[in-house]
Amino acid sequence: MAESFAVKLEEKRYLPDPQCRTNAWVPDYSQAYGEFMRDPEGFWENVARELVWFEPWDRVREWNYPYAKWFVNGKLNITASCLDRHVAAGRKEKPAIVWHGESGEKRILTYEALQREVMRFANGLKSLGVGKGDRVCIYMPLVPEQIVAMLACARIGAVHSVVFGGFGPDALAMRINDAGAKVLVTADVGYRRGKTVPLREIANEAIRHTPSVERVVVLRRESPGAGLDPAREVDYAALTGEAAPDCPPEVMDSEDPLFILYTSGSTGAPKGIVHTCGGYMVGTYYTARHDFDIKETDVFWCTADPGWITGHSYIVYGPLAVGTTVVIAEGTPDYPDPGAYWRLVQDLGVTIFYTAPTAIRMFMRYGDEWPAKYDLSTLRVLGSVGEPLNPEAFEWYYRTIGGERCPIVDTWWQTETGMHMITTMVGEPMKPGFAGKPIPGAVVDVVDRTGKPVPPGTGGFLVIREPWPAMLRTVHGNDERYCAYWKTIPGCYTTGDLAVKDEDGYIMVLGRADDLIVVAGHNIGTAEVESALVSHDAVAEAAVIGKPDPLKGNVIKAFVTLRVGVSPGDGLTDDLARHVRKSLGPVAVPAEIEFMDRLPKTRSGKIMRRVLKARELGMDPGDISTLEE
Ligand code: WT7
């Protein structure tokens, strides 16, 4: 990309009701940010003190560039803060999880019930030989047991690796193998648009190639239940039914790993981002409570799946550490009709609603009549995450869903950051198109290639200057890839995003600088899709680009060259799409496939995706001096 470039900034502002500000946990952003900057360690220490520790830390932070430790030598178990402390402090009967199924079923787990389920499943895992440090892969639909499984791992110090239920067998197998998971937890099926997703079947296909997996726990939802293979499979209900009810939390060090979560890299295989116990707990707790301004009576609904970082941090760990009521809903936003989400907001009295721009744009397309049918007056705060929230979508969300009453917190962060880094705190003036300012606790900047800040109105690289508690600690099995985050621009963590600041310090995120494609809020690596395409018999080579799309943000376009003797005849496009779907899942399927005689390449043989992209979008391809011919 160009060294720096001018960006025209729209200057519209929305001022929320002054009451929002008066009542907020952070009534004065500037003051809170100032307090943090004067004493960053003291700031985080005060947050950490609100949570449960078995032994206190010696030092708040140890920064040995590019490696950070937080709450050094502190001992904890994140489930003691997410469960035990609430059960002990009068939230026993409070709903922790309210689950809603596609056909209207509802299940409520109070904090006490959730704690009980977690302890039972934790003991069940122990009986399968899972212990501290072992990896457990969780491949489940959006049901309470998915969350129970995550917390049960945390309870006994096992490291979970959750794989989103929309991924196919190859994507699942790759992630299991990279993590070396010993146990896989899955379900017979998920439900989506009135149909079943055969998770157990996909899991069985995957584990033919995963030697590390010893046992598979299967949650059976269908009746009659599928027959299980007694040599390998264990019934979830039987396992928990036989397990002892009490499971004291394993004592974990602050820096022990809590989970691995895979995110697509621009080149090579997906990266297993490693998060640890102490800092992650403190960072997600603080941001959940303060950025969403969660109060005791709130009902919090984050529409993500726990298979993504948004679900880890803002369905499971952050909101439960706060002690709020968390809504989860299996299925899609427009099934059985486009009013499904708004009906749920009304019926459950949701007060804080957190979703992605792609969903907001989809609702916009269905029209105002759907939300108009329901009473959305319980809503108090709206959130957005995953991609830039374009001004049109902001305004629609603000007016039609928020009734011009609710502040919108557009939260910028990444799998790697673990927690929000930029937003507009509740009560602050909002600017459509801008995520906002660094949260108190984060030091964020927009810089040129050398790390020098660029002036307001000039685009540059979005970086983070100081370590933060919930930051990734490494890439599983690949420290070099971890170090690359901190070495691309000297001294800073490089986010890979382009951004611009305005005169007031508001940050507008412009998108990815590298080859990642964000499709409907899901981060897809070009390399993974290309390699799936190339694994098809007919395909010689493939190059994949993101193409702006009004609904999904981006869609995938694939350029494919065929093997000699193969012609793009009957049904090949469909066949390739099916092939990618089967291997990587529906999120990675190209919207368009174009057959080419050859792909543009550099002399060293690297495919030049930006040339394809420029051609596709009718733009100047820029410097093509490295082009093969
Ligand atoms: C990338 C990280 C973090 C949860 C979901 C995605 C983009 C994320 C925003 C936002 C503009 C955003 C960035 C970022 N992104 N939030 N509010 N405004 N862009 O996590 O899969 O790790 O993707 O998502 O490009 O780098 P992820």
Query: Which of 302, 317, 509, 517 has most ligand 1 atoms within 8 Å of CB, for mutation?
Result: 509
Answer yes or no: is 153 within a domain.
Answer: yes
Domain boundary among 464, 486, 512: 512
The pLDDT value recorded for residue 12 is: 87
Same domain? For 181 and 293 the reply is no
Answer yes or no: is 218 within a domain.
Answer: yes
Spatial separation of the C-alpha atoms in residues 88 and 136, rounded to whole Å: 29
Closest CA to 586 of 186, 166, 229: 166
Domain boundary among 464, 482, 512: 512
Indicate which CATH number applies to the domain containing 13.
3.40.50.12780
The pLDDT value recorded for residue 6 is: 64
Rg (CA), the chain: 24
Say if strands 592-596 and 553-562 run parallel, antiparallel, or are unpaired: parallel
* Centroid of ligand 1 to alpha carbon of 352 (angstroms): 20
Answer yes or no: is 625 within a domain.
Answer: no
Answer yes or no: is 220 within a domain.
Answer: yes
Spatial separation of the C-alpha atoms in residues 126 and 100, rounded to whole Å: 30
Indicate which CATH number applies to the domain containing 590.
3.30.300.30
Burial of 269 (0-12, 13-18, 19+ CB in 10 A): middle
Answer yes or no: is 263 within a domain.
Answer: yes
Spatial separation of the C-alpha atoms in residues 182 and 163, rounded to whole Å: 15
Q: Is the CB of residue 520 below 6 angstroms from any atom belonging to ligand 1?
A: no
What is the total count of domains within the chain?
3
Question: Measured from the CA of 509, which atom of ligand 1 is nearest?
Answer: 11
Burial of 597 (0-12, 13-18, 19+ CB in 10 A): exposed
Spatial separation of the C-alpha atoms in residues 279 and 151, rounded to whole Å: 17
Q: Six-digit token pair at 197? A: 């997703």
Q: Six-digit token pair at 473? A: 């600690």
Q: Six-digit token pair at 229? A: 């293979």
Nearest CA owner, ligand 1 atom 12: 387
Same domain? For 188 and 279 the reply is no
* Centroid of ligand 1 to alpha carbon of 233 (angstroms): 37
Same domain? For 503 and 531 the reply is no
| 360: phi then psi, degrees, rounded to nearest 5 | -60, -45
* Centroid of ligand 1 to alpha carbon of 592 (angstroms): 24
Question: Measured from the CA of 496, which atom of ligand 1 is nearest?
Answer: 26
Spatial separation of the C-alpha atoms in residues 426 and 410, rounded to whole Å: 10
* Centroid of ligand 1 to alpha carbon of 518 (angstroms): 8
Q: Do 265 and 481 meet the contact criterion of CB atoms below 8 Å apart?
A: yes
- The set of residues, in sequence order, having a beta carbon less than 8 Å from that of 336 and lying 6+ positions away, is 102, 194
| 593: phi then psi, degrees, rounded to nearest 5 | -130, 125
Answer yes or no: is 591 within a domain.
Answer: yes
Q: Is the CB of residue 102 below 6 angstroms from any atom belonging to ligand 1?
A: no
Helix (H) or strand (E) holding 460: strand 458-464
Q: Is the CB of residue 518 below 6 angstroms from any atom belonging to ligand 1?
A: yes
Q: Do 326 and 108 meet the contact criterion of CB atoms below 8 Å apart?
A: no
* Centroid of ligand 1 to alpha carbon of 298 (angstroms): 25
Spatial separation of the C-alpha atoms in residues 340 and 332, rounded to whole Å: 8
Same domain? For 234 and 307 the reply is no
Give the type of residue at 499: A
Answer yes or no: is 358 within a domain.
Answer: yes
Q: Is the CB of residue 263 below 6 angstroms from any atom belonging to ligand 1?
A: yes
Q: Is the CB of residue 388 below 6 angstroms from any atom belonging to ligand 1?
A: yes
Same domain? For 350 and 395 the reply is yes
**């810089």: which residue's tokens?**
447
Mean pLDDT per 10-residue interval, the chain, length 629 residues: 56 87 95 98 98 98 98 98 97 98 94 98 98 98 98 99 94 96 98 96 97 98 94 97 96 98 74 98 98 98 95 98 98 93 98 93 90 98 92 93 97 97 97 96 94 91 97 97 94 92 93 74 78 87 88 91 86 95 89 93 72 83 59
Cα dihedral 597/602/604/605 (nearest 10): -30
Same domain? For 506 and 529 the reply is no
The pLDDT value recorded for residue 2 is: 37
**CA 34 vs CA 13, 279, 322, 438, 441: distances in Å:** 23, 21, 24, 12, 10
Same domain? For 211 and 88 the reply is yes
The pLDDT value recorded for residue 222 is: 96
Answer yes or no: is 626 within a domain.
Answer: no
Domain boundary among 220, 250, 280: 250
Neighbours of 578 (CB within 10 A): 13
* Centroid of ligand 1 to alpha carbon of 325 (angstroms): 25
Same domain? For 26 and 125 the reply is no
Neighbours of 460 (CB within 10 A): 28
Spatial separation of the C-alpha atoms in residues 309 and 382, rounded to whole Å: 19
Query: Which of 266, 518, 519, 522 has most ligand 1 atoms within 8 Å of CB, for mutation?
Result: 518
Closest CA to 461 of 442, 445, 437: 445
Query: Which of 387, 488, 519 has most ligand 1 atoms within 8 Å of CB, for mutation?
Result: 387
Nearest CA owner, ligand 1 atom 3: 414
Does this model's pTM top 0.95? My answer is: no
Q: Do 168 and 143 meet the contact criterion of CB atoms below 8 Å apart?
A: no
* Centroid of ligand 1 to alpha carbon of 374 (angstroms): 30
Q: Do 294 and 300 meet the contact criterion of CB atoms below 8 Å apart?
A: yes
Say if strands 325-329 and 95-100 run parallel, antiparallel, or are unpaired: parallel
The pLDDT value recorded for residue 391 is: 86
The pLDDT value recorded for residue 622 is: 65
Question: Measured from the CA of 422, which atom of ligand 1 is nearest?
Answer: 17
Q: Which residues span the domain enclosing 603?
A: 518-617
DSSP string, 43-64: HHHHHHTTS--SB--SEEEEEE
Same domain? For 243 and 353 the reply is no
Query: Which of 354, 408, 412 has most ligand 1 atoms within 8 Å of CB, for mutation?
Result: 412
Cα dihedral 111/114/115/119 (nearest 10): 180
Q: Is the CB of residue 4 below 6 angstroms from any atom belonging to ligand 1?
A: no
Same domain? For 369 and 487 the reply is yes
* Centroid of ligand 1 to alpha carbon of 388 (angstroms): 8
Query: Which of 302, 512, 523 has most ligand 1 atoms within 8 Å of CB, for mutation?
Result: 523
Question: Measured from the CA of 523, which atom of ligand 1 is nearest?
Answer: 21
Query: Which of 385, 461, 587 has most ligand 1 atoms within 8 Å of CB, for mutation?
Result: 385
Same domain? For 178 and 30 the reply is no
| 201: phi then psi, degrees, rounded to nearest 5 | -60, -45
Q: What is the 3-state secondary structure (H, E, C) of 237-259?
A: HHHHHHCCCCCCCCCEECCCEEE
Greatest alpha-carbon pair distance for the chain in Å reads 72
Q: Do 627 and 602 meet the contact criterion of CB atoms below 8 Å apart?
A: yes
* Centroid of ligand 1 to alpha carbon of 314 (angstroms): 14
* Centroid of ligand 1 to alpha carbon of 223 (angstroms): 39
Nearest CA owner, ligand 1 atom 14: 414
Same domain? For 127 and 276 the reply is no
The pLDDT value recorded for residue 3 is: 43
| 231: phi then psi, degrees, rounded to nearest 5 | -70, -25
**CA 128 vs CA 152, 168, 214, 625: distances in Å:** 13, 26, 9, 58
Q: Is the CB of residue 497 below 6 angstroms from any atom belonging to ligand 1?
A: yes
